[in-house]
Amino acid sequence: MGQDRQAIYLASNVFNTPVSYQWEEILVLPKAQMYACQNISFPFFFNLNLGGVDTDTTQPANVTNPGDDPRSEYLVTSLNINFGGGECSGGCNGLIVWAIHDPLGSTTLTGTPLIATANNYSLPPSATQPGGANSVDSGDTRISGMAMYSAGSVYASINTNGGAGQPSFILYQIRPFINAASGTIASAAILNEIPHVLGDAQSFFYATQQPDVEGNVTTVFNFSDSNNFVGLAYVSRRAAQPLGTLPDNGIFLRNGAAFYNQGRWGDYTAVAPSGLFSAGSANPFPKMWFAGMFARSDGIWGTQIGQNGFTSITEP
């Protein structure tokens, strides 16, 4: 799900049977009429494809900053179950960026050709926990969590094979460009691509990133290895952080407490801004809220919610 000032965007994969993929479907739902509990009519799109090959698991962006009002709604697709040929088990490269324009009028959906990524990505192995190598489901190569729009860029993440028998993730900052007259997508560029410690024996998966109004980014993700049960961690990076890098590998918010024995792990984490900063307040720096799963002491999942933010200009 994504949303902007005008509409709510629901994207889904449609199957004929549990294993027979049919196509993607995107609904464009008008906000004002829905909030007023009125009957609605709405445009929708289906059978999205690139070069005749059906795409899957497109992620609409969420617009949350009060100062943002993009002319079109943006969506991002990675190669995955259908378009990637078996969940990119042999490796994939590239993203597709879409634009939905004029959601309350003559609505259009247009997409870019495949935009090359600096790093290939591939189906991640399951994550490791004490007592169980590769025993926690880390999903596939779809855009995980939410895609976020802020100040002209879309922020997204995918899971990938980390290269040492464990999952990791890649973070993207994508700049879409639209045609001024029509609002259709013209092109897109990846401004920042950050692979998180590829080649490490530790498991990192299901990341979500969100910038604040300055462009400082909070990323929340799950973490585990042979010595740590699945917990929730986060990392903060300044807007001035060099491209392609993070300041560190992250900080634990909540450590896992026991062996997770429920099979499927939750497919996403979440980050959201707490509001604009106020120069006259005791702490003028904006805060971010984030949430995700951890393994409880009884072996099932729990939810942990945290808040972070830079509290001083001297903080790295």
pLDDT of residue 219: 96
CB atoms under 10 Å from CB of 218, counted, come to 25
pLDDT at 278 over 60: no
Higher local confidence (pLDDT), 187 or 145: 187
Among 119-128, 225-234, 306-315, name the one with the lowest average pLDDT: 306-315
Helix, strand and coil content of the chain, in percent to the nearest 5, comes to: 0, 50, 50
Backbone Cα Rg of the chain: 19
* 60 touches 73 (CB < 8 A): yes
* 102 touches 38 (CB < 8 A): no
pLDDT at 48 over 70: yes
d(CA 259, CA 278): 44
Nearest Cα to Cα of residue 56 among 14, 88, 98, 93: 14
CA 306 from centroid of its chain's CA atoms = 18
- Domain ranges in the chain are 51-308
234-266 residue pLDDT tens: 999 999 999 999 999 899 999 999 999 987 898
User: Residue type for 220, please?
Assistant: V
97-143 residue pLDDT tens: 999 999 999 999 999 999 999 999 999 999 999 999 999 999 999 99
pTM of the model: 0.94
Which residues have a Cβ under 8 Å from the Cβ of 299 and sit 6 or more positions away?
258, 259, 260, 261, 262
d(CA 169, CA 249): 12
Model confidence at 279, pLDDT cuts 50, 70, 90, reads low
CB atoms under 10 Å from CB of 13, counted, come to 18
